[in-house]
Structure 1
Amino acid sequence: MQKTIRIGTRDSELALWQANKVRKQLEFLEYKCEIVPIKSTGDIVLDKPLYELGITGIFTKNLDIAMLNGDIDIAVHSMKDVPTVLPEGIIQAAVLKRANYNDILVLKDNEEFFGQPNGVIATGSLRRKAMWLNRYPTHKVVDLRGNVNTRLEKLENNDWNGAVFAAAGLERIGKRPGGAVNLSWMIPAPAQGVIMITALNEDDYIKDACEQLNHYETQVCTGIEREFLNLLEGGCTAPIGALAYIDEKTEEINFKGVLLSRDGTKKLSVNKTGKVGRHRYLAKDCADYIINRGGKELMLEDEDIEKEFSVYSTKSLSEIQKNLLPTSMKVESSDFIKIRFNRIPPKTVKDEIKNVIFTSKNGVESILNSFTSDELQFKNIYCVGRRTKKLIEQRIGKVKHAARNAAKLAEYLSLEIPEQKVTYFCSDLRLDTLPTVLTENGIRVNEVEAYKTMFSPTIVDDSVNGVLFYSPSTVESYLQENKANKVAFCIGESTAKEARKHFENVQVANLPTVESVIEMVNLHFVKK
């Protein structure tokens, strides 16, 4: 049976339009598709400018998490909203042909205010604000957030002279007013006007499908623009513009980029060309040009956001995971738990085991530390967690059922294998939930202590506002050296149950992943 491609998207009118465009193109190629709307942090928090939120990828993170957790197969984005570094495991699968990349000014009345000193313009974009003030330094720029329809409505209900929009967004949903003014002098955001599709790197079926939609010239140009942005280390918190386009007559790529101070008083710009096929260093050359003329110093001058919040993770975070947190937040991490694998007696796996349970990757890795996959004769494998399942299927064999947590797995097994026996590869500090429920339902549990969990706490500074926990053991380890006087961000209900014994403020992630815990931290502190 043909796989149905689940298309993840934000739930705004524009985002749904873009997702449906991708759906139609895939269906034309005879793929089955369905739309899965998901709300983003950027849609939820509407009372602060994007640059004050300090989070790059604010419109894409929930889609990334949904994809990593298997809820969607692809995500459709406005490419300008996507961070230049994607989460581990997610790739750029395709870009569609670029639409109108310009910014436009939607007027409230007429253009007479251009020559007046007291014009008022609305935009939520730091780049648009800086470029407008650079050109019209006596004007005032006010913040404007929300989806396209919300922003148009706010313009109508306020005394502003106009508001700046991306032309492509208004044109796609048929909302561009007749009197809108093209701002050809305003260099767009990198990849503006482009629809991007992301997918899991491991899913060859999806990658093959998306590859058929990819527009090569757009891929080349946006690649240069985004590399320029990445090299300048800018995101939503830096006013950077970039545009690359191919001159069909000369077969040259024309590039122009700009970096401004937030108030628009300072501006560094660059214009260069390069032959198609010889453009490998075009973005770097342009970024170096800006940096060598004081670009880094200009950005540092604007780094006026104090590090108001500080968090500590009780599990070491990768650089990609740290980058999911706001740039204005101090982040530290270390492993509060150390794992030591036990030597499992060969007789344990000598014969075929009918029912096997793993509740963590540690259990899987511990048994693979003692035996090769060929030595393991497991008929039915049950586990907790998507990543545990992935590791099992990569190294041992097919998983019959994976549950979100131990309680859900116990509930499932009680109905599916009553009166049978299970072998549970666990830690010396395993929770009672699973074996207790199974025993109560007549299932015999053979516990094999596969690894030991050892506490390795670190003293956390009093200035830290929140601590990220990933298991009940990390909570216990933390409390050996620290007080429970911070916000506890927990990966799941079992961890939260332990945390509630000690912490007043305990929050639980929507999904049992590190990324979901990080997203919860973002939401908590952004709303402060």
Structure 2
Amino acid sequence: MSKTIRIGTRDSELALWQANTVKNKLEALGYQTKLLPVKSTGDLNLDQPLYEMGITGIFTKTLDVAMVKDQIDIAVHSMKDVPTKLPNGIVQGAVLPRANVSDILIHKGLDFLAAEGTIATGSLRRKAQWLNRYPTHQVENLRGNVNTRLQKLEDNDWNGAIFAAAGLERINLKPENFIDLDWMIPAPAQGAMLIVAKENDDFCKEAVAQLNDKNTAICVEIEREFLRVLEGGCTAPIGALATITNETVEFTGALFSLDGKTKLEEKASFSLNNYKNQGEKAAKAILSNGGKELMANIKAKLNA
């Protein structure tokens, strides 16, 4: 094990926590490792909503380039940030055991829920689901790493902001003034960490494969397949969650209009042995039930 595995990561506190988790796990297996943090395009431009930037994989592209240039050997990502199609020459190496999948609302008091209010999020999915439930509320754009977004919430007169529970829990920043949004369908692969490697690097592929969690990998495969078939290369308000209990998979997937007024949902239950193509099947059911027209409408509005 003489080769030192160079681990690429974004340089936010959460991304470094994730990369260090992988580093420690690999070193516990006897591998030598080195962290190489970089700043992604998504981290540099915090003013523009993500969907307006028009770049697939905006948080992963910088690390993809570093890997192709042989500056790093593997990269660690929040899996929900990773495009469903990986670049040529880069492959999925391992999916780590999933953390909390929930979205949470960090708030300054909950009286606004029954009246007028303003919450913040940079996610089309969260915005659409919030407006579906609270159509009279305003939603402001919120970008940046976890620490930056928490500070922006503090500095503005918003009533609250939506975060992924997993990110806050991982770096011990989850405050007391939060509520679980158990009605909100998470992003595909939310709470999961992905390690990617170079396709021709058997040493690194074999190393990281030992960290793979099979059940998490199956669940996120179903969710990301649902996303891939629905999306067709267009960012859209899409939620998906697969869970496994006693060899049975429960799946919920949904597509929303940008204003949250339309919700197309598909639920399925199937045997763990029969999970292949279930995400595609659910997506096609939504597409044939008004989803195709809704996706065209979303694409037109985002490109206008």
Normalising by structure 1, we get a TM-score of 0.57
Deviations 1:63-118 (A, max 9, x none): 000001000000000000000000001000001000000000001x21111111x1
Return the alpha-carbon distance in structure 2 between the equivalents of residues 203 and 166 of structure 1: 33
1:259 is aligned to 2:259: no
The aligned residue for residue 156 of structure 2 is: 158
CA contact (8 A) 1:228 1:242 kept: yes
Deviation of the 1:306 alpha carbon: 3.8
CA contact (8 A) 1:50 1:236 kept: no
The aligned residue for residue 128 of structure 2 is: 130
1:188 is aligned to 2:186: yes
Q: Flag the structure with more relative contact order, 1 or 2, with Cα contacts below 8 A and sequence separation at least 6.
A: 2
Deviation of the 1:179 alpha carbon: 2.3
Structure 1 residue identity aligned to 2:170: R
The aligned residue for residue 26 of structure 2 is: 26
CA contact (8 A) 1:92 1:197 kept: yes
SS at match of 1:300: helix
For these two proteins, the number of residue pairs brought into alignment is 303
SS at match of 1:155: helix
Return the alpha-carbon distance in structure 2 between the equivalents of residues 184 and 67 of structure 1: 37
Deviations 1:242-273 (A, max 9, x none): 0000012xx11000001001111111001101
Structure 1 residue identity aligned to 2:163: F
CA contact (8 A) 2:51 2:302 kept: no
The structure with more radius of gyration: 1
Return the alpha-carbon distance in structure 1 between the equivalents of residues 138 and 190 of structure 2: 24
Deviation of the 1:9 alpha carbon: 0.2
Deviations 1:2-29 (A, max 9, x none): 0000000000000000000000000000
Q: Which runs of 5+ in 1 are unaligned?
A: 308-528
The aligned residue for residue 113 of structure 2 is: 114
Q: Which runs of 5+ in 2 are unaligned?
A: none
Q: Which has the higher helix share?
A: 2
SS at match of 1:238: coil
SS at match of 1:76: strand
1:304 is aligned to 2:301: yes
Structure-to-structure mapping, 1:192-231, within 5 angstroms: 192-231=190-229
Deviation of the 1:235 alpha carbon: 6.1
The aligned residue for residue 42 of structure 1 is: 42
1:15 is aligned to 2:11: no
Deviation of the 1:61 alpha carbon: 0.2
Decide which of 127, 139, 142 is 1:141's aligned counterpart. Answer: 139
Return the alpha-carbon distance in structure 1 between the equivalents of residues 125 and 234 of structure 2: 9
Return the alpha-carbon distance in structure 2 between the equivalents of residues 2 and 274 of structure 1: 45
CA contact (8 A) 2:237 2:255 kept: yes
Return the alpha-carbon distance in structure 2 between the equivalents of residues 235 and 5 of structure 1: 32
Structure-to-structure mapping, 1:481-520, within 5 angstroms: none
CA contact (8 A) 2:121 2:162 kept: yes
CA contact (8 A) 2:8 2:73 kept: yes
Return the alpha-carbon distance in structure 2 between the equivalents of residues 204 and 83 of structure 1: 23
CA contact (8 A) 1:55 1:236 kept: no
Return the alpha-carbon distance in structure 2 between the equivalents of residues 123 and 10 of structure 1: 21
SS at match of 2:260: coil
Return the alpha-carbon distance in structure 1 between the equivalents of residues 248 and 119 of structure 2: 36
The aligned residue for residue 285 of structure 1 is: 281
Structure 1 residue identity aligned to 2:301: D
1:83 is aligned to 2:79: no
Q: How large is the RMSD of aligned CA atoms in angstroms?
A: 1.1
The aligned residue for residue 64 of structure 2 is: 64
Structure 2 residue identity aligned to 1:55: I
Deviation of the 1:281 alpha carbon: 2.6
Return the alpha-carbon distance in structure 1 between the equivalents of residues 149 and 233 of structure 2: 22
| Further displaced range: 276-285 or 168-177 | 276-285
Could you list the structure 1 runs, at least 4 aligned residues long, displaced by more than 3 angstroms after superposition.
Answer: none
Decide which of 271, 275, 289 is 1:275's aligned counterpart. Answer: 271
CA contact (8 A) 1:190 1:243 kept: yes
CA contact (8 A) 1:122 1:143 kept: yes
Return the alpha-carbon distance in structure 1 between the equivalents of residues 190 and 303 of structure 2: 30
CA shift in 2, pair 1:103/1:234, >3 Å: farther
Percentage of matched positions with identical amino acids: 60
Deviation of the 1:304 alpha carbon: 2.0
CA contact (8 A) 1:52 1:237 kept: no
SS at match of 1:191: coil
Return the alpha-carbon distance in structure 2 between the equivalents of residues 5 and 147 of structure 1: 26
Deviations 1:302-356 (A, max 9, x none): 222447xxxxxxxxxxxxxxxxxxxxxxxxxxxxxxxxxxxxxxxxxxxxxxxxx
